[in-house]
Chains A and B, each alone.
Chain A
Amino acid sequence: MKKFLLSNRASLFTLLALILLPFIVGLMDGESPMAVFANESGNAKFAQGLAIEIFILALYALSFDLIFGITGMLSFGHSMFFGVGAYLTGISLKTLGLSLPATLGLVFIAAIVQAILFGLVLPRVKGITFALVTLGLGSVFHIVVMSSELGPYTGADVGLQGVIAPAFISPANERIRFYFIALSILILVYLLYKRFVDSPTGRVCIAIRENEGRARMLGYNTFYFKLAALTLSSLTAALAGFMHTLYQPIVSPNVASMGFTVTALLIILIGGVGTLNGALVGAVVYRLLDFGLRRYIGESASFISGAVYVLFVLFIPFGIVGTWRAKSFQINQGWQRLRKLFG
């Protein structure tokens, strides 16, 4: 028990900090924890909102890391997974008037179906061609969503508006509950992913990334393993889309565009490809950077963020987590030296 606590102290501290975050922000602003619980508007509520957005992004980036970082399939249609979840939730809640569990079930079924759709093209194409085919599927979905024929359902290029989340989870009045639900979903999915990667199935997925021919030589039918990774990833991304729709009052067609796939790619490249916790760190860095730049610099923010990405690629190529792991020995040594210096 003690050993478990010691070896995981960093993650546990992070978890504790995340649980206490709304209250700490509230206290810094002079709000009592009771006021935070009552969802009174203020900085605490705002920080929760930002954190929920980060959780959803992290969930989405995690699902991309599974197929790109772990299994080694570069898919440019990943935003379709997210978009299907987001749009289906909105349509089912608004137009069809289904209940929340039924909606979730529908989203999961759709996620499995689209994973199989992507799986259909898997045996045929590899590498960069797979990237192009998925790009094609993703852009067809984007075009369908944007088309004016489906306007009554998807809102065409304006986006799906006026989705009302059920009262007990409403992001406006019950945000603290939403915050903890999102946090626990993220933690559960993260643990599930860690277990998946450490399981024999996950090991084969890593083998496929390293050398697919050799994995097949060893007798594994790589198709099934790829399909398993794709299905799990699709389910997670659809779940992220589901939460996105519940949290945001509007689903913009941008979440189905190529740009949103690139967002996932940037997040995991910032955090570290194939590290899983890199996706979490990357989501935090990406969202805060984006938020800060847009707030303090304004319109030309994407210039700075573009420059940051170029610098990242040139000087921190393995991402934050990857570099931390590779250099942890040196960092530890430097830390010891620093401690000695100050006695």
Chain B
Amino acid sequence: MNTFLRKNTVLLITLAIITALFIAAAQGMEKKDFVITLLRGLAVGSITFLVASGFSLIFGLLDVLNLAHGTLFMIGAYIGWTVFVRPDTFVDLLTPFALILSGFALADVYPLLATRIRLGLTTKRILPWALILVSILIFSFILPQYPISIWDVENYGQSPVTYSFMANSGTRLPAPIAAFTEISAPLALIGLVLASMIGAFGLSLFNSETQQQFKLTWKNFAAFAILLIVALLTLIFNESLTAALTGLSSNWLFLIAIAVATLSGAGLGALIESTLIRPLYIRPIYQLMLTLGMSAIGIEIVRSVWGRPEFVMPKPAFFNGTGGVCPATNFADWWANNCSTILLLDGRVRVYNEIFIPIIGVIVLISIWMLLQRTRLGMVIRAGVQDREMVEALGINVRRVFTMVFGLGVGLAALGGILAAPSMGLSNAMGESLFLNALIALAIGGLTNYPGAALGSVLVGLIQQFIIKYGQIGIAIPFTDIIFKPTPPLVPASTVLLMVIILLILPNGLLGKKE
């Protein structure tokens, strides 16, 4: 115990000062203000934590500073919005996506095929590029003609802003049903499968030098077959599926949106890692530039698909009840009426923003903690953070773990995005500010330390919310009559200053490992 105290004196003193500051801050305001501020701080902290934890996992294991993390957070929010507000678009998109993926499901088959073909040196160098070019050409021929019922960014009456507004007031705009008119259906479907197979074959030829033993099992073909069947079924039952999703209550639809956003975020992350980041492990600085470029590309894609204006995402009905007995005075009341607000200690608390999001944050915190501490994958990740080469030497396929961790990290960011969307609204810039928050939180908590990410995020969220609150009520400076009101620019400045001070005292953050 004595040695623990001696080793961590600085840490304990810092923590004591921060706690004392919070107690002092709590003294200055009424009880109901304090409760609301605390809950809001926890909510901001939870969203920050979802971004920060993914970033910290990726940085810890892969040593990649993923500067596109904020953009991926935003993409998660936009994907979730699409599923929630426009289920018909989502159903329409399922078929082409499954078909494009189908070729890549056969990834283990192509190397075997490649060894059968004997080629000259020049042909061998050109062939992959030629195949990828052919596949891109086929895609660019088919995809623009593929019928998808989608919004129109140019036309205000059909824009995402209007759709959100209508969905928020409980009605759905009748969406035009897309049908195959410009291109015949079998041609489009077969073309997509072929193009995807050609492209995947071309990509697989790039690493044909590495001699790996691929065993053909039924699993490869099963994945391929399942994707094809899913594509065909969604195409055939398109209308009834759309009707079913549209008729679903918004709570279930929100759950589906969360699942789709998280999964597609994870898939996107795995794709980015395995194609773009993998060649760059030997040149760490270039990953920075790559992820910066990806971030610019991502923002531009979001702008061209969903448009520039901000819009809101309606809350699911479970958290959106109004009128009657609302705001609820206790939880039983709330459960019966699904009120959007609840009275806690005389303060009006928004249930979705200030109770639901922190709960999800705690659930994710615990489940990722269990994953890291109690499973084999978690063991490999923890070992990899400590000594990557040793893990490789023990015969563990670290590459696959890398892909999984990158996917997990991006999936967490996308989950944060869809959760934040109903409370923050969707805008092109929502990723940036949150990413800066997450970075500060990580620096405070310790860059590669998982509990540190949680502690830092909560600290950042609390400090920001307390300063916003004090901006409204003002701080009476003792012994004078001046009432100091922190201005909005002080909100980000305070967290940044806290980060600089903590890093100067403890260079590895609060819970970071000492070197």
Does A associate with B in a complex? Answer: yes
A residues lining the B interface (CB < 8 Å): 74, 121, 124-126, 128-129, 132-133, 135-137, 139-140, 143-144, 146-149, 258, 262, 265-266, 269, 273, 299-300, 302-303, 305-310, 312-314, 317
Known: A309-B296, A310-B290. A139 touches B504 (CB 8 A): no
Measured between beta carbons, the chain B residues less than 8 angstroms from A147 are 487, 489
For B282, the closest partner residue in chain A by CB is A317
Measured between beta carbons, the chain B residues less than 8 angstroms from A124 are 503-504, 507
Measured between beta carbons, the chain B residues less than 8 angstroms from A129 are 443, 447, 503, 507-508
Q: Are B276 and A310 in contact (CB under 8 A)?
A: yes
In the complex the two chains form, what is the Cα distance from A135 to B447 in whole Å? 15
Q: Which of B279, B440, B492, B496 contacts A314 (CB 8 A)?
A: B279
- Additional 19 contacts, C-beta under 8 A, given A121-B504, A266-B292, A300-B303: A74-B285, A129-B443, A129-B447, A132-B439, A133-B500, A133-B503, A136-B496, A136-B497, A136-B499, A137-B500, A143-B490, A143-B493, A302-B299, A303-B304, A306-B297, A307-B293, A309-B293, A310-B297, A313-B280
Known: A139-B496, A306-B294, A306-B295. A313 touches B289 (CB 8 A): yes
B468-515 interface (Cβ within 8 A of A): 487, 489-490, 492-493, 496-497, 499-500, 503-504, 507-508
Q: Are B299 and A143 in contact (CB under 8 A)?
A: no
Among A137, A140, A307, A312, the one with the most B-chain Cβ atoms within 10 Å of its Cβ is A140
Measured between beta carbons, the chain B residues less than 8 angstroms from A299 are 303
In the complex the two chains form, what is the Cα distance from A137 to B492 in whole Å? 12
Q: Are A265 and B499 in contact (CB under 8 A)?
A: no
Asked whether any CB of chain A lies closer than 8 Å to the CB of B301, the reply is yes
Q: Are A305 and B296 in contact (CB under 8 A)?
A: yes
In the complex the two chains form, what is the Cα distance from A265 to B285 in whole Å? 10
Measured between beta carbons, the chain A residues less than 8 angstroms from B503 are 121, 124-125, 129, 132-133, 136
Q: Are A146 and B489 in contact (CB under 8 A)?
A: yes
B residues lining the A interface (CB < 8 Å): 65, 276, 279-280, 283, 285-286, 288-290, 292-297, 299-301, 303-304, 436, 439-440, 443, 447, 487, 489-490, 492-493, 496-497, 499-500, 503-504, 507-508
- Measured between C-beta atoms, what is the minimum distance from A187 to chain B in Å? 28
In the complex the two chains form, what is the Cα distance from A167 to B492 in whole Å? 41
Measured between beta carbons, the chain B residues less than 8 angstroms from A148 are 487, 489
In the complex the two chains form, what is the Cα distance from A306 to B297 in whole Å? 5
For A125, the closest partner residue in chain B by CB is B507
Among B279, B499, B500, the one with the most A-chain Cβ atoms within 10 Å of its Cβ is B500
Q: Which of B286, B439, B447, B487 contacts A317 (CB 8 A)?
A: B286
In the complex the two chains form, what is the Cα distance from A35 to B308 in whole Å? 45
Measured between beta carbons, the chain A residues less than 8 angstroms from B504 are 121, 124-125, 133
Measured between beta carbons, the chain A residues less than 8 angstroms from B296 are 302-303, 305-306, 309
In the complex the two chains form, what is the Cα distance from A301 to B233 in whole Å? 39
